[in-house]
Structure 1
């Protein structure tokens, strides 16, 4: 989400703005009420916050690891020999 901020806010609240950039927020900077530029993160973190990941798995079914291992062994070739 892009938040409009003034040139003065950019100057006075630069610490907060930098933290929010780290969190992925973008800003449109205005001077005298007219938008003049955009400030956005160069990169997005690819990692998911632990709380978000755990919340996504709360309704997931339990895994029977023995069945899982059998399924993997039946599907994948895990021999240490290189393929020709």
Structure 2
């Protein structure tokens, strides 16, 4: 589905941002490769975000989105993106 919305609930644990996903057995799964810094920018104005917040995301823009990750280039077997 091109407009499928996904949701996770990131929270801060041991100096980084993590999330749980019961569907696939993830507990305290850390974000890597600059994503913690992206989250910091997104939650800068959200009080008590360290305790957890709802993050909605999709492969495509959706009404009311607050930030957009844009593909920049392939690098070291992965993708480099930035927030717009």
Q: TM-score, normalised by structure 2?
A: 0.19
Structure with greater proportional helix content: 1
Structure with greater proportional strand content: 2
Q: TM-score, normalised by structure 1?
A: 0.19
Structure with the greater alpha carbon radius of gyration? 1
